[in-house]
Amino acid sequence: MRLPDAEQLCIALAERMRPGLHPDTALIGIHTGGVWVAERLHAALGLKILLGTMDVSFYRDDFGRTGLHPQLKPSEIPFEVEDRPVIIVDDVLYTGRTLRAAMNEIFDYGRPARIDLAVLVDRGGRELPICARWAAQTMELDRGQNLQLERSDNGKLTLRMVNA
């Protein structure tokens, strides 16, 4: 299957989001792929509020089965969450469990005015009632297929299919 160009998806996603932004809007990227996308969007949209990043491992619902991920990154939220519109940014939307964990974590920093979700690709297969407000691309993939965002040494983003 031919996969879409991730760089062009970033540009398209930024343009779709632009009309829905508020001057106080903050972005939070989910480690690791979501942070790369969020960095692109943050620059393209010229947002004033510093970019937030989040590692949701501490909030995942599969901790009891899989334990802690060895390469944890600290969450950095360099703004007040209270009463602010927040957009979570991720690379691929699948089961929705990562987003549930991310929303739980955001509320531990304060009560946001609203939370929206922007993703490069919505690949279907949801296990929770979660949907993206903006998705640059939608596609239906089988459960055994795993879509990943990768970043090369020169910073270029590429989508890649990994068969589990």
Check the CA dihedral 49-80-114-36 and report its sign. positive
Write b or e for each residue in 48-72: b if 16 or more Cβ atoms lie within 10 A of its Cβ, otherwise e: ebebbbbbbbebbeeeeeeeeeeee
Query: Residues touching another protein: how many (CB under 8 A)?
Result: 20
Strand runs (DSSP E) across the chain, as ranges?
26-30, 52-54, 85-93, 114-122, 134-138, 145-151, 157-163
Which residue, 15 or 76, has its beta carbon nearer to another protein?
76
Please tell me the total number of residues recorded for the chain in this structure. Answer: 164
Q: Does 109 interact with another protein (rule: CB under 8 A)?
A: yes
Q: Does 79 interact with another protein (rule: CB under 8 A)?
A: no
Strand, helix or coil for residue 152: coil
Nearest approach in angstroms of CB 110 to another protein is 6
Q: Does 76 interact with another protein (rule: CB under 8 A)?
A: yes
Cα distance between residue 121 and residue 92, in whole Å: 5
Nearest approach in angstroms of CB 93 to another protein is 22
Which residue, 32 or 104, has its beta carbon nearer to another protein?
104
Q: Does 75 interact with another protein (rule: CB under 8 A)?
A: yes
Contact 100, 30 (CB under 8 A): no
Which residue, 31 or 42, has its beta carbon nearer to another protein?
31
Stretch of 20-28, 42-50, 56-64, 85-93 lying at the interface with another protein (CB under 8 A):
56-64
Find the binder of another protein among 6, 29, 52, 59 (CB under 8 A): 59
Q: What is the separation of C-alpha 27 from the centre of its chain, rounded to a whole number of angstroms?
A: 9
Positions in the binding site for another protein (CB under 8 A): 55, 58-59, 63-64, 66-68, 70-76, 104, 107-110
